[in-house]
Amino acid sequence: MKSLFRNNLQLFLLADLICQFGAGITLGTLNWLVLDHMGKNELVSYVFGVNVVCGLLISFFSGLIVDRFDKKAVVIWSNVFRIALTLITLLLFLFTGFHYSYVFLLAISNGIGWNIYFPATKALLQSITAKGGNVLKGNSGAEIAMQVGMFSAGAVGGLLYKNLGFNTILIINIVMFVIASLLVKWISVETTPAKTGLKLAHLKEDFVDGFKYFRHRSAIFLLGITMFIPFVAAGLINVSLPGYVSTFLHEDSVTFGLITMCYGIGACISGLIIMNLSSKISRKGLVLAGFIIAILCGGLMFVNHSVAIACFNNMMFGFCGSGIRIIMYSEVMEKLPSEYIGRAMSIWNVIGMALQIGCTYVVGKSMDVWGAQYGFLILSSVMMLGFLIYGLSNRMGKKSSSSSTMAG
């Protein structure tokens, strides 16, 4: 145990795993709660939409916050924010019962909290791996930690919801965030001193500086967008799956939890083997293959009526999405200076969330009008977009390299 507390990477991964478990059991069952009480996929998409809009708005500032303040403190305060809103929601449910408007507090909590937490943890991980660490190994470990947290949440979330209720899930969520914050506090890394606060002039100056960095680095810019496509796809799965399981497969919350768990299992497997795969197959080949497999699985979900095949497909979504993210994170961290990491993540996050808002609205409407299976057809289209953007990024990267060689 003492050696664990001396190992920054292990502490970081354990904290992230616990945090993702807490968030996972809440978010996974939140959509089912709305569907149970309200009976409309469109309302599920509204809750997710609030989550995304809040995330989009805070993303304009989160990267600047990460670049200007101590990264550990930002991670901890993002958890404190989520604890506060989750506690308020729990008290409202306990004293007044369910009301549809209350779930928006949880959507706001995750939208703002996670979109500060995410760039802060990536910046913290970069600081940890900078001291002789392997970037690909660090990102693989982070992906495994996140997915173990998420798939274990999927495994128990449905059972907890069915047997103990949503309020118990909220209590567990709060406890997990508290434990994760304590673990982050014990991480020993060189802190980033606060610079000049968050005055409007500095915010504008820093954000514009971030865009200027990408002006002549289009290949890296597109690479970052590719990195966020799997997040958009994962969001669409969260919106599509409750209605798909309930109305298309005609199953209950336990089956929903099982299928959700399979995504995490696939992602965890990807994290375990991606380093070995990348030594035998090029990173480019792995990313392109990941997109192609995900596109095909989305098409298969559209015509599928089997729980077993749904589990397999969701596992492949997790496997492919995780693999793409790990490789993209590693490439970005290798190419991007540390002073730009927060702002770059925010810019890419804003673009990813704007895409997510549009896709989420289309998915919710399509599922209610044409059928629950149409969510996965739209998911395939999003992964096709990622395939094309990544191809364009590689093409522009080659042109840039050729120009540099000729200039030299």
* DSSP state string for 300-345: HHHH---HHHHHHHHHHHHHHHHHHHHHHHHHHHHHS-GGGHHHHH
- Give the other-Cβ count within 10 Å of 408's Cβ: 5
- Alpha-carbon distance of 347 to 218, in angstroms, equals 13
Q: What is the pLDDT of residues 39-79, one digit of tens each?
A: 666 677 778 778 878 887 887 777 778 877 888 899 999 99
* DSSP state string for 246-279: IIIS---HHHHHHHHHHHHHHHHHHHHHHHHHHH
Using the CB atoms, write b or e for 368-390: b if 16+ within 10 Å: beebbbbbbbbbbebbbbbbebb
Query: What domains can be seen in the chain, in order of their start residue?
Result: 8-189+203-400 (1.20.1250.20)
Residue 406, pLDDT above cutoff 70: no
Q: What is the pLDDT of residues 326-349, one digit of tens each?
A: 888 878 777 777 667 767 777 787
Q: C-alpha distances in angstroms, 347 versus 59, 71, 189, 343? A: 7, 18, 26, 6
Query: What is the model's pLDDT at position 135?
Result: 67
Place of tokens 């996140």: 146
Query: What is the model's pLDDT at position 383?
Result: 94
Query: What is the model's pLDDT at position 369?
Result: 83
pLDDT tier, 405 (very low <50, low <70, confident <90, very high otherwise) = very low
- Alpha-carbon distance of 343 to 171, in angstroms, equals 34
pLDDT tier, 289 (very low <50, low <70, confident <90, very high otherwise) = very high
144 Cβ neighbours under 8 A, 6+ residues apart: 13, 268, 271, 272
Cβ(251)–Cβ(372) under 8 Å? Answer: no
Query: What is the model's pLDDT at position 33?
Result: 82
Helix/strand/coil percent split, the chain, to 5: 90, 0, 10
pTM above 0.95, yes or no: no
- Alpha-carbon distance of 156 to 206, in angstroms, equals 43
Q: Stretch 114-143: mean pLDDT, rounded?
A: 76
Q: Stretch 351-364: mean pLDDT, rounded?
A: 82
Residue 151, pLDDT above cutoff 70: no
Question: Which one-letter DSSP state was computed for residue 186?
Answer: T
Nearest to 128 by CA among 189, 69, 184: 189
Amino acid at 365: K
Cβ(56)–Cβ(357) under 8 Å? Answer: yes
Residue 189, pLDDT above cutoff 50: yes
Which tokens is 351 given? 């673009």
Q: What is the pLDDT of residues 226-256, one digit of tens each?
A: 888 998 898 888 888 888 888 888 888 778 8
Hey, what long-range contacts does 291-294 have (CB within 8 A, 24 or more apart)? 291/320, 291/324, 291/383, 291/384, 291/386, 291/387, 291/390, 292/387, 293/319, 293/320, 294/233, 294/320, 294/321, 294/379, 294/380, 294/383
- Alpha-carbon distance of 329 to 326, in angstroms, equals 5
Query: What is the model's pLDDT at position 5?
Result: 47
Query: What is the model's pLDDT at position 155?
Result: 66
Lowest model confidence (mean pLDDT) among 41-50, 83-92, 127-136, 286-295: 127-136
Q: Stretch 363-371: mean pLDDT, rounded?
A: 82
Question: Which one-letter DSSP state was computed for residue 216?
Answer: T
Which tokens is 125 given? 């991980």
- Range with top average pLDDT, 48-52, 54-58, 174-178, 214-218: 174-178
Query: What is the model's pLDDT at position 408?
Result: 45
- Alpha-carbon distance of 131 to 137, in angstroms, equals 13
Distance of CA 137 to the CA centre of its chain: 19
Q: C-alpha distances in angstroms, 82 versus 22, 177, 268, 406? A: 11, 8, 25, 52
Query: What is the model's pLDDT at position 95?
Result: 92
- Range with top average pLDDT, 15-24, 120-129, 333-342, 350-359: 15-24
Round to the nearest angstrom and report the end-to-end CA distance of the chain: 53
Residue bearing the bigger pLDDT, 85 or 197: 85
Question: Which one-letter DSSP state was computed for residue 101?
Answer: G
Q: C-alpha distances in angstroms, 308 versus 48, 156, 292, 313, 315? A: 27, 19, 21, 9, 11
* DSSP state string for 15-56: HHHHHHHHHHHHHHHHHHHHHHHH--HHHHHHHHHHHHHHHH
Cβ(291)–Cβ(388) under 8 Å? Answer: no
Lowest model confidence (mean pLDDT) among 89-93, 123-127, 385-389: 123-127
Place of tokens 């070995």: 276
pLDDT tier, 132 (very low <50, low <70, confident <90, very high otherwise) = low
Query: What is the model's pLDDT at position 183?
Result: 93
- Alpha-carbon distance of 227 to 328, in angstroms, equals 5
Residue bearing the bigger pLDDT, 144 or 292: 292
Q: What is the pLDDT of residues 297-331, one digit of tens each?
A: 999 999 988 999 999 999 999 999 988 988 888 78
Nearest to 329 by CA among 51, 141, 181, 67: 141
